[in-house]
Amino acid sequence: MGTREILTLQFGQYSNFIGTHWWNLQEAGFTYKSDDISEINHDTLYREGVSPRREVTFTPRLLSVDLRDGLKALPEVGELYGGLQLPSTSELNWNENAVEVKKEDCDDKSQFLKDLAGASNVEEVLNKDYDFERDVTVWSDYLYSRFHPRTVNVVKQFEYGNVNTPFDVFPLGKEVWKTEQFEEDFTDKIRNYVEECDSFQGFHMLTDCTNAFAGMSSSCLEYLQDEYERKSVLVFPVIPSHFPDNDYETEKERQDSLMSDSIRLMNLALSYNAYNEFSSLFIPLCTSEKGFRQPGLKRSFHNTEYNHKLPYHSSAILASALDTFTLKHRLKTSGFNLVDLCVDLNMVGRKCASASLCFPFCINKNVDLIDCLDQWDGPLTKSITPSCEIGTDRQMQHITIRGIPESRLKGPPHNAEKQRDLPAFKCKTVSEMLTFYYQCTQYASATNVTSVQKALPVKTPFPKFFNQKLDFTGNFTNSEQLSKPESIPVLAGLHTGAEIGVMLEKLHTETRKIKFKRFNAFISGGIENDDFEECLDNIFTLRENYEDNYFL
């Protein structure tokens, strides 16, 4: 199978937090040994290029958008292709004596970045521990990947630090999209990437959906639909697990936070409406239970002690899920494409799907998968789609498990002992056994399972938030381990079922309560009450596509 390329788009800060982990962990999985043949085709998401110094580069096929102060030490043009050398005043096409140089203070580079820049051996840096929990304020603080000069796009008109003019409402994002920087330059960059591809299959889009980036990604999608109509676009709207303003103390702060919750919810509703119209499939992600009006309680994952108030932590979990459930259309051997995934889940207009995760996949050291599943208590995975649980019947689902080698399936025939009594003993592969497991535990569901040998790499700069009893391969042991996990097994799934209808109904009910006319920023941005009503109606209609009698 030749490479079927995908272009990734990231809109907004939280999307970039997730994206950063995602690119980091993919690169942690690169192997340069020729005997170790990877199952994953990295050319799907990466591109090969040549720098002006004639060095071969391998960089994410990526366009990322953020506000200026969301970048800190990361230069817009990157350093890989040069261009950061200060020109002498004589090169400025002006009288040398009338040149004024204004240098901003150097933003502090995180210790990790400093070490990376100065490292003679990068491996050493990746084996060190850092206090990322304290050091990370923006995603570039833990960015290991190096980018093509096309990749980073900065919205200059807004800053996170400027509280007077926040980039907070849907129409602002649409407005910025209409500027030359996006309508011309950004779309040209998309074209440049796509033109290079021999067998381009579509887009992955990660986008913040509770701030103005919601509007921006909606406009972008509309453009993609227009210009690349036959390509698939898989959208992941993401919601941070925590908003600092929800930790209010005074009455005024409480009032402000309530307003912000309403604004975020309206952005969410407006963007879901656009994603429904213009994407092939969209899958909302959040590590907290509700997502709206507030993120709600954090979801817990086995053997992981994460701080949901740190985007650095929660985004790592979502990145692990993304990397895992997109594997199926990124393998070297499979003929499974992005469009197959979309079609399997979006039938009868079910444009919204849900995702779930088992992180790490809980398996005891030296235990076979068959016994692990036999003794499993409760559902295998946990939902990571806000306000949506994963159903146990009438599901269409794609499941991916990684890091469980076929040798862990079951005991050898001659000393399998009790395993022989289990019906699953007949299964010959990991994917067959998991499929069988789902058949036994879920009613009227269609499940397709992919198994990938390669575990998820979790070395620095991935958070070290795992239970100490996990060994270096992420298997559970009875005692505290000296070394931390270097990789972990993960199971992740994408689903469609009646529960998504329930989620859309909740969204509709909550959004209905908002008095749209009180939110001048939306109205002055050109969204009329009728538009908002229509958006709500569309969400309500979309919900109907998930009613049981339509399906299976």
Partner 1 sequence: MAISLLNPKAEVARAAQALAVNISAAKGIQDVMKSNLGPKGTMKMLVSGAGDIKITKDGNVLLHEMQIQHPTASLIARASTAQDDMTGDGTTSTVLVIGELLKQADIYISEGLHPRILAEGFDKARAKALEVLEKIKIPVEASRESLMDVCKTSLRTKVHQKLADVLAEVCVDGILAIKQGDKPVDLHMVELMEMQHKTEADTSLVKGIVMDHGCRHPDMPKQLKNAYILTCNVSMEYEKSEVNSGFFYKTAEEREKMVTAERDFIMQRVRKVVELKKKLCDGTDKSFAVINQKGIDPMSLDMLAKEGIMALRRAKRRNMERLALACGGVAVNSLDDLNESHLGYAGLVYEHVLGENKYTFVEECKVPQSVTILMKAPNKHTLLQIRDAVRDGLRAINNAIEDKAVIPGAGAFEVAANKELLAFKDTVKGKARLGVAAYAEALLVIPKVLATNSGFDAQDTIVKLQEESRLNPDPVGVDLTSGEPVNPKDAGIFDNYIVKKQIINSCSVIASNLILVDEIMRAGMSSLKG
What residues form DSSP beta bridges with 397?
447, 495
Please give the Cα distance from 380 to 401 (Å, whole number): 11
Contact 369, 467 (CB under 8 A): no
Q: Which residues of 115-147 are buried (b: 16+ CB within 10 A; e: fewer)?
A: bbeeeeeeeebbeeebebeebbebbbbbbbbbb
What's the min distance (Å) between Cβ of 267 and partner 1? 14
Is the CB of 459 or the CB of 495 nearer to partner 1?
A: 495
Please give the Cα distance from 427 to 434 (Å, whole number): 9
What's the min distance (Å) between Cβ of 447 and partner 1? 10
Please give the Cα distance from 40 to 329 (Å, whole number): 9
What's the min distance (Å) between Cβ of 4 and partner 1? 8
Is the CB of 125 or the CB of 396 nearer to partner 1?
A: 396
* Residues across the chain: 552
Burial degree of 441 (CB within 10 A; 0-12, 13-18, 19+): middle
What's the min distance (Å) between Cβ of 448 and partner 1? 5
Is the CB of 337 or the CB of 460 nearer to partner 1?
A: 337
Using DSSP's 3-state secondary structure scheme, residue 527 falls into: coil
Is the CB of 138 or the CB of 238 nearer to partner 1?
A: 138
Backbone angles phi, psi at 94, to 5 degrees: -155, 165
C-alpha of 201 from chain center: 19
Please give the Cα distance from 372 to 363 (Å, whole number): 6
Is the CB of 73 or the CB of 422 nearer to partner 1?
A: 73
Q: Which residues contact 289 (CB under 8 A, 6 or more apart)?
A: 295, 296, 297, 298, 299, 386, 387
Is the CB of 107 or the CB of 115 nearer to partner 1?
A: 107
Is the CB of 17 or the CB of 81 nearer to partner 1?
A: 81
Using DSSP's 3-state secondary structure scheme, residue 182 falls into: helix
Residue type, 181: Q
What's the min distance (Å) between Cβ of 159 and partner 1? 6
- Nearest CA to 247 out of 255, 238, 257, 239 is that of 257
Backbone angles phi, psi at 79, to 5 degrees: -105, -5
Is the CB of 169 or the CB of 319 nearer to partner 1?
A: 169
The two most distant CA atoms of the chain are separated, in Å, by 89
What residues form DSSP beta bridges with 11?
65, 207
What's the min distance (Å) between Cβ of 73 and partner 1? 5
- Nearest CA to 3 out of 327, 398, 333 is that of 333
What's the min distance (Å) between Cβ of 177 and partner 1? 15
Please give the Cα distance from 40 to 499 (Å, whole number): 32
Half-sphere exposure of 460 (CA within 13 A, CB side): 18
Is the CB of 50 or the CB of 122 nearer to partner 1?
A: 50
Using DSSP's 3-state secondary structure scheme, residue 46 falls into: strand
Is the CB of 72 or the CB of 365 nearer to partner 1?
A: 72
Structure token pair of residue 66: 């953020």
What's the min distance (Å) between Cβ of 245 and partner 1? 18
Report the DSSP pairing between strands 6-11 and 202-208. parallel
What's the min distance (Å) between Cβ of 100 and partner 1? 5
Structure token pair of residue 77: 């043009």
What's the min distance (Å) between Cβ of 339 and partner 1? 4
Contact 347, 395 (CB under 8 A): no
What's the min distance (Å) between Cβ of 302 and partner 1? 29
Report the chain's terminal Cα–Cα distance, integer Å: 32
What's the min distance (Å) between Cβ of 78 and partner 1? 10
Is the CB of 175 or the CB of 531 nearer to partner 1?
A: 175
Is the CB of 407 or the CB of 524 nearer to partner 1?
A: 524
